[in-house]
Structure 1
Amino acid sequence: MVIAGAVVVQFVRHYPGWAAMIACLAVAVLGGGLFLRYRVIEARRQRFLAANVELEKVDRMSGPEFEHLVAERMIADGFRQVRERGRSGDGGVDITAIASGRGKYAVQCKRYSKTVGAPEVRNFLGALANTFAGHTGVLVTSGRLTRQARLEALGAREPLILVERDRLADWLLGAASLLPVQPAGILIEGDEPAG
């Protein structure tokens, strides 16, 4: 190793022009390789998302597959440091992420064919109040919230973003975004609490 270092130093001293050209070429190759890797990963993500935009496919997913789909959609939407945390010991949160200029997000995914009830919402709000204080909460479900669950979510101290079945379909298609946050306690015109 020391001998190789000495050879490089001697080469740079005797041939500074060649050394600079080789260094530039190495940087260009490395940068090009990283850019190509990014493009391949992004193309793979887009194919995965395109293959899973239909709710019928979502309905056949396992819980971890659904969490992965939500995480990939968040990355496509511009979230950074997206981390899948799901499994036992996740502290009540399946995904954490950061949105530039908007702070930290904590996501609970419920791939349910049934409705999501008030106890699930309360558990998530508890996780947000304790372990994930300071995070904006996002509850994503392939089902719908019961009326009581929606009231619990809308009554939360901090805004809680709700992505129920219809909004999930739009989000997966790229026609809706998790941002901007709808203020807590306000229903968008046409929204009805689920029964």
Structure 2
Amino acid sequence: MDELLERLRTGTPSFFEKVVVDLMVAMGYGGDVEEATGVLGRTGDGGVDGVIKEDVLGLDMIYVQAKRWANSVMRPEIQKFAGSLEGMRAKKGVFITTSTFSNGAREYVDMIEKKIVLIDGEQLVDYMFRYGLGVSPSETFVVKRVDEDYFAGSE
């Protein structure tokens, strides 16, 4: 997992944005990759990197902030993101980083009315493993048992 996180931290910003879009789509957001591609970095920023559909129909939107950082994300960054959401009349946001969130940042999202999900680097690579993004199986282990149906007529 450390190797995957390091690859994310040393990749280009555009690659990191691609990873975020691919992950959101793999998780069921944004319709398909073609529809969701390019959503990051297109809102004129304003404290938000992009917008993605919450569902295939686009009944609600999720605002996304993606930070490829090494240092911990502190409360002021989350407050800026929450303020940007307020300015766009948005109710939901996801803040994804390759680093960690400070306790103050985590406490802040618990106190506010807006729903902001914080995904740190460790959670990010966990989701990548879970949804098969950027990883491939290296071994498969098969456990075999006696097929009772095969031997049913032998007695």
State the TM-score, normalizing by the size of structure 1. Answer: 0.56
Q: Which residue of 2 aligns with 1:62?
A: 12
Stretches of structure 2 that go unaligned for 5 or more consecutive residues are: 133-155
Tell me, yes or no, if the aligned pair for 1:71 and 1:95 is still in contact at 8 Å.
no
Q: Which residue of 1 aligns with 2:51?
A: 96
Q: Which residue of 2 aligns with 1:121?
A: 78
Q: Give the counterpart letter for 1:116 in structure 2.
A: V
Structure having the higher Rg: 1
Q: Confirm or deny that 1:130 pairs with 2:80.
A: no
User: 1:158 and 1:88 mapped to 2: Cα distance?
Assistant: 20
| TM-aligned CA deviation for residue 76 of structure 1 | 2.1
User: 1:84 and 1:169 mapped to 2: Cα distance?
Assistant: 21
Stretches of structure 1 that go unaligned for 5 or more consecutive residues are: 1-52, 177-195
User: 1:175 and 1:67 mapped to 2: Cα distance?
Assistant: 17
Higher helix share: 1
Q: Which residue of 1 aligns with 2:63?
A: 106
Q: Which residue of 1 aligns with 2:142?
A: none
1:116 match: secondary structure: coil
Q: Confirm or deny that 1:171 pairs with 2:130.
A: no
User: 2:42 and 2:68 mapped to 1: Cα distance?
Assistant: 14
1:145 match: secondary structure: coil
Q: Report the RMSD for the aligned CA atoms in angstroms.
A: 2.4
| TM-aligned CA deviation for residue 162 of structure 1 | 1.0
**Number of residues of Structure 1 aligned to a counterpart in Structure 2:** 123
Task: Kindly indicate whether structure 1 or structure 2 has the higher relative contact order, using CA contacts under 8 Å at least 6 residues apart.
Answer: 2
Q: Which residue of 1 aligns with 2:140?
A: none
| TM-aligned CA deviation for residue 175 of structure 1 | 5.2
Give the direction of change, closer, same or farther, for the CA distance of 1:165–1:129 in structure 2 (3 Å limit). Answer: same
Identity value in percent: 28
